[in-house]
Amino acid sequence: MRQLNRLNQFQRLWQPSEGAPQQATVAELAAHCFCSERHIRTLLGQLENAGWLRWRASAGRGRRGELSFLVSPDEVRALLMQQALDKGQQQSALALAQLAPEQLRHVLQPLLGGQWQNDIPTLRIPYYRPLESLTPGFLPGRAEQHLTSQIFAGLARFSDDSSQPQPDMAHRWQTDNSGTCWHFFLRPTLRWHDGESVSAEQILARLQTLMTQPMFSRLFASVAQIDAPHAWCLRFRLHQPDYWLPWRLASFGSRIAHPDDDRLGCGPFRLSHFDNSLVRLESHDGYHLAHPLLRAIEFWITPGLFDEQLGTSCRHPVQIAIGQQAQFPDLRPVSRSVSLGFSWLAIRQQGRLSAPQARYLMALIHQQGMLDALPLDPELITPSRTLLPGQQLPDFTDVAPVQLPPRLRLLYRLPVELHAMAQQLRRRLAELGCELELVFRNVKNWDDGLAVEEADLVMGDQLIGEAAEYTLEQWLRCDPLWSFILSGPQQAHIQATLDALQRSPETRDRNDALRRLFSRLVEQAIVTPLFNYRYQISAPPGVQGIQLNAWGWFDFSRAWLPPPGT
Cα gap 234→147, rounded to integer Å: 26
> According to the model, what pLDDT value does residue 304 have?
65
Least confident of 26-30, 324-328, 343-347, 491-495: 324-328
The mean pLDDT of the chain is: 83
List pLDDT tens digits, range 505-557: 999 999 999 999 999 999 999 999 998 887 777 665 567 777 777 777 788 88
Q: Quick one: 209 exposed, middle or buried, by C-beta within 10 A (0-12, 13-18, 19+)? A: middle
Report the Cα 23 to chain-centroid distance in Å.
53
Confidence tier at 372 by pLDDT (50, 70, 90): confident
pLDDT confidence bin for 33, thresholds 50/70/90:
confident
Q: What is the 3-state secondary structure (H, E, C) of 508-561?
A: HHHHHHHHHHHHHHHHCCCEEEEEEEEEEEEECCCCECCCECCCCCECCCCCEC
In 3-state terms, what secondary structure has residue 469? helix
Span of 14-28, 128-142, 264-278 with lowest mean pLDDT: 128-142
Contact 374, 410 (CB under 8 A): no
What share of the chain in percent tops pLDDT 70?
A: 84
Reported as a pLDDT band with limits 50, 70 and 90, residue 11 is confident
- Predicted local confidence at residue 113, as pLDDT: 64
Average pLDDT over residues 9-36: 86
- Average pLDDT over every residue of 236-262: 94
Task: Report which of residues 63 and 230 the model is more confident about.
Answer: 230
Most confidently predicted of 48-57, 246-255, 302-311, 380-389: 246-255
b/e map of 351-383 (b: 16 or more CB within 10 Å)?
Answer: eebeeebbbbbbbbbbeeebbeebebeeebbbb
Percentage with pLDDT > 90 across the chain = 38
Mean pLDDT across 300-316: 55
Query: Which of 119-133, 142-156, 299-313 is predicted most confidently?
Result: 142-156
Contact 457, 410 (CB under 8 A): yes
Considering only 144-148, 347-351, 450-454, which range has the smallest mean pLDDT? 450-454
| Residue 266 and residue 193 in contact, taking contact as beta carbons nearer than 8 Å | yes
The pLDDT score that the predictor gives to residue 394 is 82
pLDDT of residue 405: 94
pLDDT score, position 48 = 87
Q: Which residues contact 94 (CB under 8 A, 6 or more apart)?
A: 277, 278, 300
**Contact, 219 vs 161, CB < 8 A?**
no
User: How far is Cα 147 from Cα 255, in angstroms, rounded to an integer?
Assistant: 11
- Among the residue ranges 88-92, 155-159, 161-165, 429-433, the one predicted with the least confidence is 88-92
The Cα-based distances of 444 to 239, 291, 367, 415 in angstroms read: 33, 33, 29, 8
DSSP 36-77: -HHHHHHHHHHHHHTTSEEEE--SSTT--EEEEESS-HHHHH
Q: Which of 250, 247, 319, 270 is nearest to 134 (CA)?
A: 270
**SS3 at position 283:** strand
Q: Compute how many other C-beta atoms are within 10 angstroms of the C-beta atom of residue 262.
A: 16
At position 224, the amino acid (one-letter code) is A
Task: Taking residues 389-417, report their average pLDDT.
Answer: 85
Considering 215-229, 302-316, 452-466, the range whose residues carry the highest mean pLDDT is 215-229
Burial class of residue 67, CB neighbours in 10 A (0-12, 13-18, 19+): buried
Among the listed ranges 110-114, 285-289, 361-365, 507-511, which one has the minimum average pLDDT value? 110-114
How many other C-beta atoms are found inside a 10 Å radius of the C-beta of residue 239? Answer: 12
Quote the pLDDT of residue 26: 86
With a cut of 50, say whether residue 315 has pLDDT above it: no
Distance CA 157, CA 29 (A): 63
Tens of pLDDT, residues 84-107: 776 666 666 666 666 544 455 555
> What pLDDT was estimated at residue 87?
66
Q: Would you place residue 326 in the very low, low, confident or very high pLDDT band (cuts 50, 70, 90)?
A: very low
> For 169-268, where are the E strands, in sequence order?
170-175, 181-186, 223-230, 233-238
Quickly list DSSP for 302-347.
-GGGG-GGGT-S--BTTEEE-S-GGGGGG-EEEEEEE-S-EEEEEE
Measure CA of the first residue to CA of the last residue in the chain; give whole Å: 38
Q: How many whole angstroms separate alpha carbon 444 and alpha carbon 145? A: 13
pLDDT at 344: 93
Highest mean pLDDT among 405-409, 444-448, 562-566: 405-409
**Burial of 551 from C-beta contacts in 10 A (0-12 / 13-18 / 19+):** buried
Q: 66 vs 539, which has greater pLDDT?
A: 66
The CA distance from 398 to 279, in Å, is: 53
* CA dist., res. 381 & res. 534, Å (int): 5
Cβ atoms of 425 and 360 within 8 Å: the answer is no
Ranked by mean pLDDT, the top range of 286-290, 370-374, 450-454, 531-535 is 286-290
Answer whether residue 117 shows pLDDT above 70: no
Residue 307 has pLDDT above 90, yes or no: no
Confidence band, pLDDT 50/70/90 cuts, at residue 559:
confident
Q: What pLDDT is stored for residue 429 in this prediction?
A: 95
Is the pTM for the entire model greater than 0.85? no
357 pLDDT higher than 80: yes
The answer, yes or no, to whether residue 313 has pLDDT greater than 50, is no
Q: What is the mean pLDDT of residues 405-423?
A: 89
Lowest mean pLDDT among 262-271, 301-310, 315-324, 517-526: 315-324
